[in-house]
Amino acid sequence: MDDILTIADMKARAKRRVPKMFFDYADSGAYTEGTYQANEDDFQKVKLRQRVLVDMANRSLASEMLGEKVSMPVALAPTGMTGMQHANGEMLAAQAAEEFGIPFTLSTMSICSIEDVASVTTKPFWFQLYVMQDRDFVLNLIDRAKAAGCSALVLTLDLQIQGQRHKDIRNGLSAPPKFTPKHVWQMATRPLWCAQMLGTKRRTFGNIVGHAKSVTDLTSLSVWTSEQFDPHLSWKDVAWIKERWGGKLILKGILDEEDARMAVSTGADAIIVSNHGGRQLDGAPSTISMLPRIVDAVGGHIEVHLDGGIRSGQDVLKALCYGAKGTYIGRPFLYGLGAGGKRGVTRALEIIRKELDTTLALCGERDVRNLSRRNLHQGL
């Protein structure tokens, strides 16, 4: 792992280790993938202000997200089917995050269940909720997250219907994997992945199977998931979810100033400026391009986080300069997992930490909490 110096290196290794259908599942966006690409590209357009001859000893990356201490303001984003990048993926990533001192967010659509992750961690993790039409299932899921001691609920707002990713359709993606000759070939060429996967019983959606009433077998599972996202979800629903949960609430998927102001009025604790990693509305702007406007729109009345396109510690720093209190990485940690399991996730975090620290110093700062727009270069 020490020869892996960048998240791009990690991605290349993951591509060699993970069967194509699951690697593509991570490395894809909706339709033309324009928004997915813009998330990454627009970070490159933000220029940093270089400062010299300022004391840059004793630097600190420590901060807080939602009042929780973090060793750096980077959390692991909720990602579905993480346990298909590597056997027991969610459990391994949660352990890596805990050891690193950053939050881990478990997706509703995870392979390992809430209880699985709780069984291998000692500190609270965060849980991401999709509101399904089966409200009994949703209420039960909230209660399970509470019982597991989760310290924040991340309510995803930008997936009332699913965006289309062409690669997934072409690959015939499913969990557990199908056994057509094409799929068997994809797996057979990744023997280590197969061996690890054969060693776990966790190969389908752990939060759903055995918990949703109508889901008894694989066919009913895929029908259930395709029909269950709720197109009627509205701002009113945030209130009952907030009440049932009773703890810290983060609203994920805000990309518009007006929606950001609506989010403030719900009394939620934080928003995540997010376009679902470019997997939902293709043609939407990048998250970093919207961040300053959204920060200005909420005027300090709610904590603002950002995800989408972060591929380095430099990108984290740029988001902090624009006023994000915290950031999340999705694909970078998935690539780490695919490339090397728990060690790969830790390595991805180490890379980001080192880049963040060096960049902080070269910008003439010592504390990530002091970053602001004055650290960015204005104009060309």
Q: Give catalytic residues, as residue numbers.
A: 276
Closest CA to 43 of 292, 276, 311: 311
Q: Annotated binding residue at 13?
A: no
Residues contacting residue 53 through CB under 8 Å, at least 6 positions apart: none
Pairing of strands 63-65, 152-156: unpaired
Q: Is 39 in the site for ligand FMN (CB under 6 A)?
A: yes
CA distance 341 to 345: 7
CA distance 155 to 168: 24
Among 35, 128, 312, 359, binds ligand FMN (CB under 6 A): 128
DSSP for 28-81?
--STT-HHHHHHHHHHHH--B----SS---S-B--EEETTEEESSSEEEPP-TT
Q: Annotated binding residue at 279?
A: yes
Eight-state DSSP code of residue 280? S
Q: Annotated binding residue at 274?
A: yes
Cα angle for residues 307, 311, 314 (degrees, 5° grid) = 95
Q: Is 310 in the site for ligand FMN (CB under 6 A)?
A: yes
Q: Which of these segments, 95-103, 141-149, 234-242, 329-337, binds ligand FMN (CB under 6 A)?
A: 329-337
Among 17, 248, 276, 342, binds ligand FMN (CB under 6 A): 276
* CB 41, CB 33: distance < 8 Å: no
CA distance 356 to 52: 17
* CB 208, CB 214: distance < 8 Å: no
Q: Is 35 in the site for ligand FMN (CB under 6 A)?
A: no
Q: Is 117 in the site for ligand FMN (CB under 6 A)?
A: no
Q: Which is nearer to ligand FMN, 156 or 314 (CB)?
A: 156
Of 2-31, which residues contact ligand FMN (CB under 6 A)?
A: 25-26
Of 162-191, which residues contact ligand FMN (CB under 6 A)?
A: none
Q: Which is nearer to ligand FMN, 65 or 365 (CB)?
A: 65
Q: Is 288 in the site for ligand FMN (CB under 6 A)?
A: no
Q: Annotated binding residue at 80?
A: yes
Position with the least CB separation from ligand FMN: 330
SS3 291: helix
Q: Annotated binding residue at 377?
A: no
Of 54-113, which residues contact ligand FMN (CB under 6 A)?
A: 77-80, 107, 109
Q: Annotated binding residue at 331?
A: yes
- Annotation: binding site for FMN: 78-80, 107, 128, 130, 156, 252, 274, 307-311, 330-331
- What is the contact surface with ligand FMN in residues (CB under 6 A)? 25-26, 39, 77-80, 107, 109, 128, 156, 252, 274, 276-277, 279, 307-310, 329-331
